[in-house]
Amino acid sequence: MRLIEIAENELGGHQNQDIAAEIPVPEGWAVIPPDMAIPETFPFVRITVKNQRVTSMVAGTMPPEPEPTPPEPTADDILNAILGVTE
């Protein structure tokens, strides 16, 4: 059983869980029917829910990839900067 949190997170995605056993659906979550098509953008989707069951799911917008962060300077980089050594 696949569950999806009904509320979107700050990036527009939904928390989701695959559960091996049938359990009561927690408040704020819904069941995704096993025969429902899952868009490639999952978990970034738009859902419609009725009685804690997803009735429709369409592709949403994926957030942009984060900008790469520069690597931390090494001890040698710091020492060279202090000594004024350039390469």
Answer yes or no: is pLDDT of 87 > 70: no
pLDDT the model gives residue 64: 87
Q: Which of 6-10, 36-40, 51-55, 68-72 has the lowest mean pLDDT?
A: 68-72
Residue 71 located in a structural domain: no
Average pLDDT over the chain, rounded to an integer? 93
Secondary structure letter of residue 29 according to DSSP: E
Contact (CB, 8 A) for 51 and 31: no
- Tell me the torsion sign for CA atoms 30, 31, 35, 41: positive
Q: Which residues of 5-16 are buried (b: 16+ CB within 10 A; e: fewer)?
A: beebeeeebbee
- pTM (predicted TM-score): 0.71
Q: Count how many domains the chain has.
A: 1
Residue 29 located in a structural domain: yes
12 vs 84, more confident: 12
Task: Determine the 3-state secondary structure of 79 from DSSP.
Answer: helix
* Across 68-86, average pLDDT: 88
Give me the domain span that covers residue 44: 2-61
